[in-house]
Copies of this chain bind each other. A is one copy, B any other.
Amino acid sequence: METLLAASQRAMKYFVTGGAGFIGSNLVDRLLSVGHEVVVFDNLSTGQMQFLDQASRSRNLTMLCGDLLDRSQLTTAMRDCEFVFHLAANADVRYGTEHPRKDLEQNTIATFNVLEAMRSNGIKGIAFSSTGSIYGEPQFFPTPENVAFPLQTSLYGASKLAGEGLIQAYCEGFGFRGWIFRFVSILGERYSHGHVFDFYQQLRDHPGRLDVLGDGNQRKSYLYVQDCIDAIFVAIAKCQDRINILNLGTDEYCSVKSSVSWIVKELGLNPHIDFKGGPRGWVGDSPFIFLDCSRMRALGWAPKLSIREAVVRTLRYLQNNSHILERRS
Please give the residue numbers on chain A whose beta carbons come within 8 Å of chain B beta carbons, in ascending order.
96-97, 100-101, 104, 108-109, 112, 115-116, 136, 145-155, 157-159, 161-162, 164-166, 168-170, 172-174, 243, 245, 283-284
Chain B contacts of A100 at CB under 8 A? 112, 115-116, 170, 173
Bound form: Cα–Cα A106–B231 in Å: 37
Bound form: Cα–Cα A170–B173 in Å: 30
The answer to whether B96 touches A162 (Cβ under 8 A) is: no
Bound form: Cα–Cα A283–B147 in Å: 26
A174 to chain B, nearest CB (A): 7
The answer to whether B173 touches A96 (Cβ under 8 A) is: yes
- Majority SS at the chain A contact face: helix
The answer to whether A173 touches B284 (Cβ under 8 A) is: yes
7 other A-B residue contacts (CB within 8 Å) besides A100-B116, A158-B168: A151-B168, A157-B165, A158-B165, A161-B161, A161-B162, A162-B162, A162-B166
18 contacts between A and B (CB under 8 A): A100-B112, A100-B115, A100-B116, A100-B170, A101-B112, A108-B108, A109-B109, A145-B149, A148-B148, A149-B149, A152-B164, A152-B165, A158-B162, A158-B165, A158-B169, A162-B162, A162-B166, A173-B283
